[in-house]
Chain A
Amino acid sequence: MSTSTRSASLLWLAVTGAAAAALMGMSGLSCAQGFPAIGPLPAKKAPNPGQVEMGRRLFFDPRISGDGAISCASCHDPKQGFTRQVDNKGKPQALSDAYPGTSHFRNSPTLINTTYKAGFANAGWGWAGHMGADLNDVVRDMLTETLVMNMDMRLMHERMKQDPVYVKMCQESFKGECSSGKARSALVAFMDTLVSRDAPFDTGKMSDEAKRGRGLFEGKAGCIACHNGPYFSDAEPHNTGVPENMEVFKDPVRHLTYRAAMSNHGVPRTEIWRRDVGYFLASKNYADVGKFITPTLRELKYTAPYMHNGVFSTLAEVVDFYDRGGGRDDPLAAELKPLGLSAEEKKDLIAFLESLSSTAPVTVQPVADIPKEYAPIKNFLGAHN
């Protein structure tokens, strides 16, 4: 792109950008490349604090899983960037845990900024974009999916009704008795608060390396082609040829978990696959095998390892991977090319990527007073159920 066209574009942006951004929300159009501009996330309406507090309690409460063994925080640990990076013994963990008796076959994605995925028009949540039309839907899926929380939501609301703290919270924040709908809304309100704070990119306090990295990001390295908009994702499926994580197929429990998820979504011949079918799960189009929805790049500093199966543990590995033109997989050819980045350029690019992370980790304090037992309701016979 020549300097003159870029200036013209910037001028055009100055005139129309504000209006366009206001109209189009997250997808304000960028310069002549035609990709939605990267920029700060639009502010969201602050959720009701009482609902957030109820959501936080639910988030840490194992009683909202079928056998009471795991909570949301088990796989989206606030101390680990709301992902799962190390297991209970401190060993690095590329693949997520799952409901007891199963083991997941993908990396646990961060929940930070997940609320902004609601702006996606073409894809839902999950690495295969197959989940939910909105965050409330996804919460329902996570609670009820056999591989995740395996919770009957009717049982969940009866458990909540047995806990005086939830009874009070539901009354105060939702003006009614506990229900699965209120629980889901509270969890959504809680996740509305999990957003980037003071990322150097957003505050404009970027280092010189990071600024140069931005130039590469939008220019030579071409990251902007997929990682665009304030959320740094085009919400589209792509095949970058990320290597399979063969741990999925070397561990019988992960393998059977994978097969259960595949058959649950109507993928044929689950006994044959030895690769993650990716977006095929949603589209059932063989051309989409191995495609995954572009993830956000925000909070990368706190959310290693990377890719849908956690095969890369550092940003340097990720940048090297793209510098080589990605991995080898059939439909790849048209999308990625070797970049020829110098060592200096790679460092700059990583500095830029790190500037997309909050200055301090986004986290919350766990809720300490969650009881393990259910106290009986006094005057059960006289009380209304």
Chain B
Amino acid sequence: MRPSNVALYLPVLLMCGFLAAGAANVLAAGDPPRLAPLPPVPEPSDNKTTKAKAELGRLLFFDPKITGDASLSCGDCHVPRQGWGLADPISRGYPGTVHWRNSQTVVNTAYLAKLFWQGDAGSLEAQAEAANTGAVAGNGSNDVMEARLRQTPEYIKRFREAFGTERPLINDAWYAIAAFERAELIQKDNPLDRYLTGDKNALSAKAVKGKQLFEGKANCIQCHNGPMLTDEKYYNLGVPRPKEFEETGLNQVTYRWEIYQKGLHEQRYRQWKDDPGLYHTTAWVRDAGKHRTAPLRYIKYTAPYMHAGQFFTLEEVIDFYDKGGGENEFTKRYGNKTRILKPLNLTKDEKEALIAFLEELSGEEIKMAVPKVPSYAVKPDVPGLTQAQAKRIGLERHLPAIGKK
């Protein structure tokens, strides 16, 4: 670059620098995003919600055909009557296994950009596939799951209607499940939404006080903000190690498998005894024990709480924050406990108000009967196959025999 050009560009470069610095200052000094009513459900451009997809997705959500041994479905760990999660602290797993984290509610997950406690699925479609194929979750493999769908005439028809394919494709199953979640498992217009859009009677006086604490003295808003009451960022709060890791053989098997298969330096594999969370994504020790801020909508129905269900009640959760959080293996080892947490000195009334706010914003329960899923059918013959085609694939001789059922 010649000097004359530098002279030309220099003011522009400087200006950019000032602008960048200015923006950073605004962000640093700014308040966290405010609570907000839920906007319309976002839809990815490659999976627009349709009635056909959503209805298909509802069947698939409850259909055990799309797991390894066809014995459990999404609905077995995301039970409608258990807040579309599971009431166990640590989720059940695939038969013969146990999971290592708490099963979260599916309600309103359409609004999240990061799924799972580790935030490592970027869409509902990706989440559904990961859950149905993981060894301690669905343990399904694509070829078998797809073959099961293709052996089911009702699914052949419904996949054709929903996706226009001649035969079911397993990838479309995840798309249909995501469409179902976006269409049916949304709880909008709950008391918080109504309050925020101007209906000042939507929340009780006690809950309004709780909301003020949430946004003020208790400082929950620092992380639980925006329409989903989560910033979708990662923190180590010092939540204690789940006691199951220490006490139960099956949990120890799964714990070691998780940290082994997710990839861990051997020394850490040998020594660590707690869930490294975000560390598995970044491989930075400062991220060990961090999990994505949980959304708080529907919380009344989704006990127990925290990434391994360490707390059974909201009272326990509030007490935990009131003490300024806790300590765990990683906060002790790496000093990475979030500095946001400080003792809150909440009074008994204040704690009750906070809980009233959380419970009221949970709204009405989403109830749904488990649908009857379609059955396999015998398909001994090959409809529409011409004699020429049959001959080419050596099937000619068998056509009369296979016609007999």
* A residues neighboring B (CB under 8 Å): 63, 65-69, 99-102, 146-147, 150, 152, 154-155, 158-159, 161-162, 244, 246, 249-253, 255-257, 259-261, 263-264, 269-275, 286, 289-290, 328-330, 373-377, 380-381, 384-385
Contacts and interface: CB of A to CB of B under 8 A. Distances in A.
B313 to A, nearest CB: 27
27 contacts: A63-B96, A66-B135, A67-B94, A67-B95, A67-B97, A100-B70, A146-B141, A147-B144, A155-B97, A158-B254, A161-B253, A161-B256, A162-B249, A162-B252, A162-B253, A244-B398, A246-B401, A272-B393, A274-B380, A289-B394, A329-B394, A329-B397, A374-B252, A375-B249, A376-B248, A381-B273, A385-B272
B377 interface: yes
Contacts of A154: 135, 257, 260-261
Given A63-B96, A384-B271, A272 B69 contact: no
B122 to A, nearest CB: 24
Interface of B: 67-71, 94-97, 135-136, 139-141, 143-144, 146-148, 150-151, 167, 245-250, 252-254, 256-257, 259-261, 269-273, 376-382, 385, 389, 393-395, 397-398, 401-402, 405
A246 B151 CA distance: 16
B165 to A, nearest CB: 12
Contacts of B256: 158, 161, 385
A146 B394 CA distance: 28
B357 to A, nearest CB: 38
Given A154-B261, A260-B143, 9 more contacts: A68-B96, A101-B68, A146-B144, A161-B256, A252-B376, A256-B151, A260-B144, A374-B249, A385-B272
Contact of A289 (B136, B378, B393): B393
A373 B250 contact: yes
Contacts of A376: 246-249, 252
Contacts of B389: 272
Question: Which among A63, A380, A385 has the highest number of chain B CB atoms within 10 Å?
Answer: A385
B71 A377 contact: no
Contacts of B271: 384-385
- The prevalent SS among residues of A at the interface is loop
B151 A274 contact: no
A328 B273 CA distance: 64
A287 to B, nearest CB: 10
Contacts of A271: 150, 167, 382
Nearest to A251: B378
A102 B146 CA distance: 13
A147 B253 CA distance: 24
Contacts of B71: 67, 100-101
Contact of B377 (A67, A252, A273, A385): A252
Contacts of B261: 152, 154-155
B26 to A, nearest CB: 46
Nearest to A67: B95
Contacts of A289: 393-394
Return the 3 tightest CB-CB contacts between A and B, nearest first. A68-B96, A374-B249, A101-B70
B380 A249 contact: yes
A380 to B, nearest CB: 5
B398 A274 contact: yes
A261 B146 CA distance: 11
A256 B70 CA distance: 13
B260 A374 contact: no
A241 to B, nearest CB: 10
A263 B146 contact: yes
Contacts of B150: 256, 259, 271
